[in-house]
Amino acid sequence: MSTDDFLAIKALLNSPKNIVIVCHKNPDGDAIGSSLALYHYLMHYQHNVQVITPNIYPDFLKWAPGEAHILKYDTQTAESTAIIEAADIIFTLDFNAYHRTGQMADILERSEAIKILIDHHQDPDDYATYTYSDVSVCSTCQMIYHFIDMFKDTVLINADIATCIYLGIMTDTGSFRFRSTTSTTHRIIANLIDKGAENDKIHNNVYDANSYNRLLLLGQALSNLQILPTYKTAYITLTNAEKKRFDFKKGDTEGVVNYALSLKGIIFAAIFIEDTEQSIIKISFRSKGKFSVNQFARNHFNGGGHDNAAGGKSELSIAKTVTKFSTLLPAYKKELELSYES
Ligand code: 5GP
Ligand code: MN
């Protein structure tokens, strides 16, 4: 962020404001963690702050400090609308294009509040009054840490803020293993532990909260795994019937695509999940090395994200979506071969 933008934001936040914090639809650990960390920080300065998510999030995030105060736009529309309409400032976190908020896109676009974007995805849209975008940072949560640091306020990071920031850094880095995890990330994590983030509890809350059905669904997903060695690619499918059989709940498929990527020699992985409610196939892409799934998702599946983790969607049937995917691969054969040397 430029110094001018920072000074302007600092001046804005100098007196109490009505502030709304929003994140993307189907919030993940980074979306919830960054929203709540910023919420706790701004509350410290007596602002009137409300976090509004477009819809619900998985049970394994329903312990984060402050989570109980979050409004969900899709089921609490009237209350959320009134608060958005009264907002002086709207922070938009962990996304960079209005459509990523689903049915909140219209009201955000109409709002005359000052918009402050904080996000680490590629190619931000130009909607915000102030844009703090950095694709080199592993998570929006780490950017919230840097944001607080710009105000020379890391001393205000208490156990609640530390826990929320830790949560999003942990989930967006695959527990500190992806390429985006830097020595700075580890230094910040060390500071957060010093400030009261209980790392073992946070890991337990997120990763050891499985239901029996979730593990059975994972079993089904793994038995559907297909490998295309010629293209160093593997993919998983899950139909609606399979999801129903194992009592699918939001968040149950999170991370499943990584099993496809964990195969030796595989550098490109995808999961195709039938979503009959939205009449789409929701797709997650993951890669290792230089092969950009952000570009692949943007070019072919109406999506985007990061170089090594992106998402998209398809309005074809699941079978036709998989055929489209497989048909695209030959054109990428060279790129896939050269992407990653172990
Ligand atoms: P996931 O596969 O976990 O849903 O998403 C991986 C990454 O891609 C996340 O950073 C997410 O924000 C982004 N992403 C997922 N789906 C979409 C999409 O439909 N459009 C865009 N632009 N980004 C997406
Ligand atoms: Mn993120």
> Cα separation of 157 and 148, whole Å?
8
Q: What is the pTM of this model?
A: 0.95
pLDDT of residue 286: 97
Render each residue's pLDDT in the chain as its tens digit; 342 residues.
899 999 999 999 999 999 999 999 999 999 999 999 999 999 999 999 999 999 999 999 999 999 999 999 999 999 999 999 999 999 999 999 999 999 999 999 999 999 999 999 999 999 999 999 999 999 999 999 999 999 999 999 999 999 999 999 999 999 999 999 999 999 999 999 999 999 999 999 999 999 999 999 999 999 999 999 999 999 999 999 999 999 999 999 999 999 999 999 999 999 999 998 889 999 999 999 999 999 999 999 999 999 999 999 999 999 999 999 999 999 999 999 998 876
Closest CA to 143 of 110, 116, 108: 116
Residue 332 CA to residue 338 CA, distance in Å, equals 10
The dihedral over CA atoms of 164, 289, 294, 305, expressed in degrees to the nearest 10, equals: 0
Query: Mutation test of ligand 1: which of 272, 284, 285, 298 has the most ligand atoms closer than 8 Å to its C-beta?
Result: 284
Ligand closest to Cα of 95 equals 1
Beta strands in the chain (DSSP E): 18-23, 48-53, 71-72, 89-93, 114-119, 130-133, 226-228, 233-238, 268-275, 280-287, 304-305, 309-314
Indicate which ligand has the atom closest to the C-alpha of 309: 1
Q: 84 with 114: CB under 8 angstroms?
A: no
Question: Phi, psi at residue 52, to the nearest 5°?
Answer: -125, 120
Return the exposure string of 297-332: e unless at least 16 CB atoms fall within 10 Å of the residue's CB, then b.
Answer: bbeebebbbbbbbbbbbbeeebeebbeebeeeeeeb
Q: Which is the closest atom of ligand 1 to the Cα of 24?
A: 12
Closest residue by Cα to atom 22, ligand 1, is 304
Residue ranges around ligand 1 (CB below 6 Å)? 24, 121, 284, 303-306, 309-313
d(CA 168, CA 170): 5
Task: Give Cα separations from 53 to 60, 100, 336 (angstroms).
Answer: 16, 11, 37
Domains of the chain: residue spans and CATH:
3-207 (3.90.1640.10), 212-337 (3.10.310.30)
List the residue whose alpha carbon is closest to atom 17 of ligand 1. 311
Q: Distance, CA 231 to ligand 2 centroid (Å)?
A: 28
Distance 284 CA to ligand 1 centre (A): 7
**What pLDDT is attached to residue 230?**
97
> Which stretch of DSSP H or E encloses residue 333?
helix 333-338
Is residue 185 within 8 A of residue 174, CB to CB? The reply is no
